[in-house]
Each structure stands twice: as C-alpha cells, then as structure tokens.
Amino acid sequence: MTMTSQPTVLKPGRPWEPTAKERGQKLLNFLISLALSVVLLFTTGLNGKLGWVIAFFISFLSVTFIAEYRRAGRPAAQDSILTSISRFAIFLAIIPIVSILLTVISKGWRGLHWGLFTQDMAEATVNDPIQNGGMLAAITGTTIMVGIALIISLPISLLTALYLTEIKGKFARPVRFLVQAMSGVPSIVAGLFILSSIVYPLTGQRNGLMGGMALAILMIPTVARTAEEVLLLIPNDLREAGLALGATQWRTVAMVVVPAVKSGLITAIILGVARVIGETAPIILVSGGGEANNLNPVSGPMGSIPYYVWKSFLLGGTEESTQRTWAGLLVLLVWVLLLFTIARYISSRSQKR
C-alpha cells in the first residue's frame, strides 16, 4: 500500500469533552428527575418550595446514580453522587448571598437620590420624606473612623506579621495564638473595651476618634493574620539570598520580602477595611452617633453608615424610613463589594506576573 498524498485537514478538537449523545443523556437525566420530583411532591408528604428542592435532590441523586451505574459501573456511580452533592452544596451556599444582594438592590435603589450624598440628618428625622436629609454625615463619619482605624492598626498589624514570620521570636507562638483568638472577639466587646478603658476614665466624650480606636482593635487581627499568611508564602530562599549578599535582616525584609508580597499586603489591608466598615455595635457605643456632618474626630459625636441604617430602622416605621434603611444598606454593600473587587483585582494581577 502506498501513501496517498491526499492532504489531511488538521482540525483542532477536544476529544475529551462529552459528545452530543452524552450531553443529551445528561439532559434526559435532568428532565427525568424533574418529573420524578413532581411525582414525589404529589405522592409523599413533601410540599412547598423547600419540599420540592428536597424531592428534586433525592430524585436527581438516584437518577444520576442509576444512569452512571449502567454506563460505567459502581465507582463511576459513586463518583457522580459526590459530584451531585457538592453541586447542591454550592447551590445552597449561594442562595442567601444572591438573595441578600437582590433584595438590597431591588429595595434600595428607589431610595437613592443625589441629596443622599450632600445632606445630613441634622434637620430631618427618619420619617421625613425621602428627599429631606441624607447620608452625608454617615459617609464622612465612616470614612474618617475607618481612616483612623487604618492609621492605628496598620503599623501594629504589619509589624506583628513581620514579627511572626521574620523575627520568629520567643513569643511568636503565644502572639500567634492571641492574634487568632482576637479575631474571634465579638465586636461589641471592642466597643465596651474602649468605653470602659478610655471614654469613661479619661476623655469622658464619645467621638470619632474613639470609634476609630474600637474599629482598630477589630482590624488588627484580620490584617495581621492575612499579612502573616502572605509573608509565609515567600520562600526562604529569597530571604537567604538577601542575607547572603551582606544585607541586614531589616534591609532584606524591606527590599526583598515586602516588595515581593506588596499586592498581598494591600489585599490584607482591604480585607481589614471590609471587615470593620459595617461594624455597628462598637460604633453606636463609642462614637456617639451624630446626625450632623462632623469632620472633627476629637469633638462631638460622629455618624456612620451602619448607625444610619440602624437608626432609620429602629426609629422608623413609615414607608420613608424603610426606604432610607434599604438605601443605606445598598450604599454600604456597594462600598464593601467595591473593596473586595479591588482586592481580587490586585491579587489576580500579581499572580499573573
């Protein structure tokens, strides 16, 4: 036999992907289990939306198991069971998140208006028409207090992380334990701590600085732990390379280690901000909860977005106050989501490099 010189056309394919027939089979499985779930709904005691989800879960598992068993035997069938269960788990985990997002957006957007960002609540009550008053005091207050928290907690938490990973001193183990324990401290405890240790005995005044300090206490463990984790990812080789070039330890840290994890540290900071930005309890306790726009953190009460939401809900009862609550939540949610998106973007950009 001679080779015919017929030109073969090279076509890039994906032979490992399921064929049309297999995909059809999967769709069929899905439809059968859908039908089965409806049958179950009418024949058993299950009812309602939740009942239907359970019925569908059971019938989908059994149908997939039988189909896979017939196609490829027992191990494949067991495999398909685990795959299906984990898919359901994802589904269940996403429901509340999506539900919260949709609810806040759908109820909050009607309360949005420009005045929200230019007016405060000094001369308006929560039950006034929505056009009266706004969140200006809340937004500036949150910004200032989170800024104060950043200024206080950044040096402390980053140096703590460096102590844990670079110096590895005698106290590294207890410090690590304390930092982990601190991240579980209820936020109201941080507020009470500031209240009882600074506000009552020393200043006697609730203001933005106190709020910032309470937030700093909550922020330190989050930032320190995240920063420690990213610093631990740096291979020891790099530190040794720096030291072997005749550098002191801190010069190695400053010129080699920290630049190598810069984006990770920025992510740590953003996560810390996102952690405290929505804190309500400590703020209500120590910042005084101002209605008027107050840019001075050491004098007079200061508002914040969570406080605005809390108060609108608590003192309200009218259509307007409910709308205010949802609008406040929407602003807060968008802010936090924005921070997380920035964090994701920075860390994904550094992974590409």
Partner 1 sequence: MTDNNEVGRDESVQTPGEKKEMKTETTPHSLADVASSRAAKVPGTAPLGSGLEARGVHAWFGAKHVLKDVTLDFAAGTVTALIGPSGCGKSTFLRTLNRMHEFIPTAALAGEVLLGGKDIYASGTDVTKIRLRVGMVFQKPNPFPSMTIGQNVLSGLKLAQLKVSNTDDLLEECLTRAGLWDEAKDRLNEHASALSGGQQQRLCIARSLAVRPEVLLMDEPCSALDPGSTFRIEQTISELSQTMTIVIVTHNMQQAARVSDYSAFMLSDGGPGELIEVAPTNELFSRPRDKRTEDYVTGRFG
Which chain residues interact with partner 1 by CB under 8 A? 168, 235, 237-248, 251-252, 255-256, 259-260, 262, 353
Question: Nearest distance from residue 40's CB to partner 1, in Å?
Answer: 57
CB of 345: closest distance to partner 1 in angstroms? 19
Least spacing, CB of residue 252 vs partner 1, in Å: 7
Structure token pair of residue 320 = 């307007």
Q: How far is the CB of 17 from partner 1 (least distance, A)?
A: 33
Cβ atoms of 61 and 40 closer than 8 Å: no
**Which of 82/244 has CB closer to partner 1?**
244
Residue closer to partner 1 by CB (options 112, 256) is 256
Which of the 8 DSSP states describes residue 109? G
CB of 159 to partner 1, least distance (A): 20
Angstrom distance (rounded) from CA 121 to CA 134: 6
Question: Quick one: 141 or 242, whose CB is closer to partner 1?
Answer: 242
Distance CA 102, CA 201 (A): 45
- The SS3 call for residue 288 is strand
* Beta carbons within 10 angstroms of residue 188's beta carbon: 16
Backbone angle region of 63, left / alpha / beta, with phi > 0 → left and psi within -120 to 50 → alpha: alpha
- What the block records as the tokens of 309 is 């939401």
Nearest-approach distance from CB 89 to partner 1, in angstroms: 37
Residue nearer to partner 1 on the CB measure, 61 or 175: 175
Q: Which is nearer to partner 1, 257 or 302 (CB)?
A: 257
Residue with Cβ nearer partner 1 (158 or 261): 261
Minimum CB separation of residue 154 from partner 1 in Å reads: 20
What is the amino acid identity at position 161?
A
DSSP per-residue letters across 149-216: HHHHHHHHHHHHHHIIIII--TTHHHHHHHHHHHTTS-HHHHHHHHIIIIIIIII----HHHHHHHHH
**Residue type at 216 in one-letter notation:** A
Phi, psi of 302 (to 5 degrees): -130, 135
Q: Judged by CB, which is closer to partner 1: 83, or 249?
A: 249
